[in-house]
Amino acid sequence: MRAVALFVATLALISCATPEARLRSGLANAGLSEPMAACMAERMVDRLSLIQLRRLGDMPYAREERSMAGFLHRIRALRDAEIWGVTSSAAAVCGVRRLTG
């Protein structure tokens, strides 16, 4: 019985972590640095729906995109005001956090 409870608890924890991990990977694949992607994913995961998170996590690879302005331009192209607002806010906060250490 304990083994089943532990298994169920483990599955619950894994399922909770999956959207943030997927988003973090998607942001990194879209050209953001690993620390920036991690910071932004942490801030964004609770503010967007699973469908919105999937859209962001499935963004095409664009490693050639080196500027935040270019990245945000691609986010705006998704034509979802909530994704745009949450992403730009997270980028601003995480950018300031990076600068202030």
CB 51 within 8 A of CB 94: no
pLDDT tens-place string over residues 40-72: 999 999 999 999 988 877 766 555 556 788 888
Angle between helix axes 81-100 and 50-57 (nearest 10 degrees) is 70
Query: SS3 sequence, 29-51?
Result: HCCCCHHHHHHHHHHHCCCCCHH
User: What was the pLDDT predicted at 25?
Assistant: 86
DSSP 69: H
pLDDT of residue 65: 59
Task: Please tell me the pTM assigned to this model.
Answer: 0.74
First to last CA, the chain: 47
Residues written for the chain: 101
